[in-house]
Amino acid sequence: MPLDQPIFIFGAGRTGSTIFHRILCEHPRVAWITDFADRWKRKPARNRLLMRAVDLPLVGAVAGRIYPSECYEFWEHLCPGFRRPCRDLVAADVSPRSAGRVRSALGEIPTPRRDRLSIKITGWPRLTFLAEMFPEAKFIHLMRDGRMVANSFMNVPWWCGWSGPQNWRWGELSPEHDAEWRAHDRSFVALAGIQWKIFMDAVEAAKAVLPADRLLEIRYEDLCEAPADTFADALEFASLELTPRFEARLKEFRLASTGDKWQRHLSARQQEILGAVLASHLGRYGYAE
């Protein structure tokens, strides 16, 4: 079926986009992709069968426990290079072949009842790339205090900054970022902060060409403080009605910002370095102390 305003949720990683997307998928009109898409890359209609099962009285409770996935193997099958590009993907990178394959495959997932497809991605924002493929799409950006994000990067096993910028997925450092990193003795906490800045700068570059009415930015801290108000705004932006069922499900989720965790995890010196690296960007996004 034709895709009607797909909703893309994205963030730098460790920003709350996973839980936000998980809650959004509780909406009775929202469809999502699962690990089924990775397992059966050439048969996305199997994911549609799961979407139908979610709404069946007897099996829905079981099917509903199959949570959304980012499905990068599925994406890579449809669009080579999507998973780990060395820079942000932009509109000029879209090929007619990939665009056709992506639109066709994703169009097999929604159902007449769950007619709004929502997809989450992390890593590069890929905003104008996806907007070129889906001119009708809506985008929701989950952002978080860069100090929390940088600290979290250093505490997950998949962060590739430990191998240095010559081996990570964020491309070569600009002369300015390289000088900044070296000024802090190639500190890893500085590099984690620089990664957040690279991501946020990529978002700003995309915002310069993307119509403002197609992008909503949400601070994770605001989501935790006022989830009902935040989701009311998000649903309005996405042209989804606020239903009693969704309101009830939203109340079952517990959100905590843990905003001071970076201070407890990092030494005084590391905090000083991170503050210096992120000062301008923290101020820009309202996170200055």
Q: Has residue 42 been placed in a domain?
A: yes
Weakest-pLDDT range from 12-21, 198-207, 258-267: 258-267
Task: Please tell me the predicted confidence (pLDDT) of residue 63.
Answer: 63
Weakest-pLDDT range from 58-62, 127-131, 181-185, 276-280: 58-62
3-state secondary structure of 156: coil
Q: Provide the pLDDT confidence category of residue 60 given band limits of 50, 70 and 90.
A: low
Q: What are the Cα distances from residue 177, in Å, to 153, 172, 190? A: 18, 9, 10
Q: Has residue 289 been placed in a domain?
A: no
Q: What is the domain extent for residue 140? A: 7-284
Q: Provide the pLDDT confidence category of residue 55 given band limits of 50, 70 and 90.
A: confident
Q: What is the pLDDT of residues 128-140, one digit of tens each?
A: 999 999 999 999 9
Which position has the higher pLDDT, 115 or 58? 115
Q: What pairs with residue 31 in β-bridges?
A: 117
Q: Has residue 2 been placed in a domain?
A: no
Residue 61 reports pLDDT greater than 80? no
pTM for this model (two decimals): 0.96
Strand spans (E) along 130-282:
138-143, 215-219
CATH number at residue 13: 3.40.50.300
Residue 64 reports pLDDT greater than 70? no
Q: Has residue 246 been placed in a domain?
A: yes
Task: Please tell me the predicted confidence (pLDDT) of residue 289.
Answer: 64
Contact yes or no for 6/33 (Cβ under 8 A)? no
Residue 102 reports pLDDT greater than 70? yes
Task: Please tell me the predicted confidence (pLDDT) of residue 54.
Answer: 87
Burial readout 83-109 (b: 16 or more C-beta within 10 A, e: otherwise) = bebeebbbeebbeeebbeebeebbbeb
Residue 114 reports pLDDT greater than 70? yes
Q: Has residue 45 been placed in a domain?
A: yes
Q: What is the pLDDT of residues 143-175, one digit of tens each?
A: 999 999 999 999 999 999 999 999 999 999 999
What is d(CA 45, CA 110) in angstroms, rounded to the nearest whole number?
9
Task: Please tell me the predicted confidence (pLDDT) of residue 181.
Answer: 98
Count how many domains the chain has: 1
- Mean pLDDT over residues 89-113, rounded? 96
Task: Please tell me the predicted confidence (pLDDT) of residue 56.
Answer: 87
Q: What is the pLDDT of residues 34-48, one digit of tens each?
A: 999 999 999 999 999
Which position has the higher pLDDT, 9 or 288? 9
Q: Has residue 136 been placed in a domain?
A: yes
